[in-house]
Amino acid sequence: MADVNPFSLSGTAHSQHWPSLVSPDWWLNKGFMAATGQPKSAWRWNPGTTMLSTQRGVLTGVVMYLLMVFGGQVVMKGVAKPIRLKRITQLHNLALTLISGFLLLAFMEQCLPAWRDRGFFFTICGAESWTQPMEVIYYLNYLTKWLEFVDTALLVLKKKKLEFLHYYHHSLTMVLCFEELLGRVSVAWIICSINLLVHVIMYYYYFLASCGKRVWWKEIVTTLQIVQFVVDLGLCYFCLYTHISYHAVVPLPSVGADCRGTRLAAYYGCVLLSSYLLLFVQFFIKTYIKGEKGNHLGFRPMNYDGMKAAPQPAAQPAEPAKAD
């Protein structure tokens, strides 16, 4: 008899919905078998046991990241020339483009059938929508936030100026993904999916730019980042209100159902994403409106390696912030 997967919508370990060669779930299972000798369905997120699954480890990661940012800048002041590492930069951007695309498809494979069969509300609020196959993808997405710290390390080595927005969202987005795993927030799948879509476009942009290509659509990347947070916040506040109204002592207008996830994760997500939206709008205004009066949307090439090596005049645009 097949092992019962308590997280599965169907009550079995089956989670492959697409033909094998185009199924992210099939490839993930092959990867788990090769790496651990066990199928993907045997994996579990166990806080305190799973790698990088403790609050202490996450806090340590944030502290070490900030030490890399500020300590690295101090060290690089004593280095005569920037360390560019062009090939590593290209490989890093290409890898994150491909990883983001793969994880996006993995979410789609799991969520679209549930959406079709149970409805959209179920996918963002239903208690059963947090499945073991989904938890695997959430965890892998969480690990990519650690990998994205390499972005900052490369910029520090290149002696480029780092905006507050850059290290603020890099560090705290990793914490957000951790809290979503702990809180099992059902709506996280669509937030992650939109973010992964933006990352496919963004990191492909950075890959082209790092290869010396003339890329004209950098403003579009920043615009997509802002749109991302508007959609995210609409969903997050809706789910949080649905949860609060369902449990309220005083009757409130509600849909008559609950939303899965802890309030701590929900509050943290709403506050953090709200701050992201404000910071990215500020970045857009500073870079593309006040800094470039008279220019039209897009059609401005970027010299990736030469950017921010030295203080730029006001008319020079900054690169789009890497959002998570």
Tens of pLDDT, residue by residue over 130-149, are 999 999 999 999 999 999 99
- Give the HSE-up count for residue 87: Cα atoms under 13 Å, Cβ half-sphere: 0
pLDDT band at 171 (very low <50, low <70, confident <90, very high): very high
**Do 266 and 179 meet the contact criterion of CB atoms below 8 Å apart?**
no
Tens of pLDDT, residue by residue over 152-163, are 999 999 999 898
pLDDT band at 314 (very low <50, low <70, confident <90, very high): very low
Q: How far apart (Å, rounded) are the C-alpha atoms in residues 202 and 220?
A: 10
Of residues 216, 60, 190, the one with CA closest to residue 126: 190
Mean pLDDT of 198-218: 92
Counting residues of the chain whose pLDDT is more than 90, the rounded percentage is 69
Kindly give, in sequence order, each residue whose CB lies less than 8 Å from that of residue 177, ignoring residues fewer than 6 positions away.
Answer: 138, 141, 142, 145, 192
What is the DSSP-derived secondary structure letter of residue 289?
I
Residue 247 is predicted with a pLDDT of 84
Residue 319 is predicted with a pLDDT of 55
Q: How far apart (Å, rounded) are the C-alpha atoms in residues 298 and 288?
A: 9
Check whether 68 has a pLDDT greater than 70: yes
- Identify the residue with better confidence: 252 or 170: 170
**Do 123 and 115 meet the contact criterion of CB atoms below 8 Å apart?**
yes
Residue 58 CA: distances (Å) to CA of 140, 146, 178: 15, 10, 8
Of residues 282, 116, 107, 302, the one with CA closest to residue 216: 302
**Do 302 and 218 meet the contact criterion of CB atoms below 8 Å apart?**
yes
Check whether 248 has a pLDDT greater than 90: no
pLDDT band at 315 (very low <50, low <70, confident <90, very high): very low
User: Which of 8-12, 216-220, 299-303 tops mean pLDDT?
Assistant: 216-220
Q: What mean pLDDT value characterizes the chain?
A: 86
Residue type, 66: L
Mean pLDDT of 251-256: 78
pLDDT band at 290 (very low <50, low <70, confident <90, very high): confident
pLDDT band at 85 (very low <50, low <70, confident <90, very high): very high
Check whether 296 has a pLDDT greater than 50: no
For 9, phi then psi, to 5°, come to -60, -35
Residue 294 is predicted with a pLDDT of 37
Q: With H, G, I as helix, E, B as strand and everything else as coil, classify residue 88.
A: helix
H-type helices in 119-217, by residue range? 120-125, 132-147, 149-157, 164-183, 188-210
Residue 217 is predicted with a pLDDT of 86
Mean pLDDT of 47-66: 95
Tens of pLDDT, residue by residue over 104-138, are 999 999 999 999 999 999 999 998 999 999 999 99
